[in-house]
Homo-oligomer: A and B are copies of this chain.
Amino acid sequence: MSDLSSLGERKIIELIYSLLDKPPITPIMFGDDVSAIPLHGGRLAVLKTDMLVGSIDVPPGMSLYQAARKAAIMNISDFAAKGVRPLVLLVSLGLPRSFTKKDVEALAEGLNRGAREHGAYVIGGDTSEAPDLIIACMLYGVARSLIPRSGARPGDILAVTGYFGNAAAGLKLILEGLDAPSGLKKTLIDSVYLPKARLAEGLALVQSRAATSSIDSSDGLAVSLHELRKMSKTGFTVNFLPLAEEAKKFAALYGFDARELALYGGEEYELIVTIRPDRWLNALEAVHRVGGSLIQIGVVTKETSICLVEGEKLIDIHYRGWEHFKSSNASK
């Protein structure tokens, strides 16, 4: 009998999936960022649930308002990766009996804020007593199409919507009680407490019809590339590591490896996408039009390895990052 920490979150999900009856039509593979079923008129009903657990997912110093907003953002980021506009959010809220009225107000305001920032409304839910703060959000939207994890083809351009490493640096700063000049510190900490979902970018990408696959990077750049690879059955050569300036400065301050922060950090909500080369300019223009960035970082390969090119060296990008049950809580 193997226990959960040796299985890890992904094997647990595979185990559950193997025991479920399968619906007749599945517009998107199980294990993608969202679930979907066909609606009348060729549309898709798109659904997502993701849960925030106080003792696991809320770092020290994060307010309840920020935690609730983040719970909404976690779900919206998955919709963003598929290019689907979220319409409504429901929430199952588990509250310790010791919480105050003010705590509940902060949670309601955070949820409302996370949804409204992206045009969605909180329309229902449930509250229960629980031994820990639980915020299980459910997101719903309707789409004509969506960008799966499985569509990358060799020759496609690999791109991201922003630079990586700030959330990992911010988390290190918080958990290890480190310091940094105030402007830098604020940017790093904000990236942990106030993450952004790249919804405008995702919607622009689906409209540009240029993206062949997409995933959000909440489990880290490295893990997300591996997950994309697994579903697309391709590999990636990364020529340019999209390392955030602030993370670089922070790493220099303490002698950390900035690459580690960018690749293996997690809790970042950038999109990682593959783009048809003949539509690269369409994608770029669409994302720029909404005020976003699209940064070319590599290319999709037939070989299923994932390498980082550094000068004349090829460095393997490992499957390593945050994983529930496997990782220790203190590291998050």
Contact = CB atoms under 8 A, between A and B. Distances in A.
Interface of A: 1-5, 7, 9, 12-13, 15-16, 19-23, 26, 30, 34-35, 37, 39-41, 43, 45, 47-53, 55-57, 87-88, 90-95, 97-102, 104-105, 107-109, 111-112, 116, 121-132, 134, 136, 138, 140, 142, 324-325, 329
11 contacts: A4-B95, A16-B107, A19-B108, A21-B116, A21-B122, A23-B121, A30-B123, A37-B123, A51-B130, A55-B130, A95-B325
A92 B95 CA distance: 16
Contacts of A19: 105, 108-109, 112
Contacts of A49: 49, 90-92, 124-126, 136, 138
Contacts of A91: 49
B47 A121 contact: no
A122 B92 CA distance: 18
A148 to B, nearest CB: 13
Contacts of A9: 127-128
| Total copies of this chain within the assembly | 2
Contact of A124 (B12, B41, B47): B47
A236 to B, nearest CB: 25
**Among the interface residues A2, A26, A88, which one has the most CB atoms of the partner chain B within 10 A?**
A88
Given A12-B95, A23-B121, A1 B53 contact: no
Contacts of A98: 3-4
A129 to B, nearest CB: 5
Contacts of A123: 23, 26, 30, 35, 37, 47
A196 to B, nearest CB: 20
A169 to B, nearest CB: 24
Contacts of A87: 37
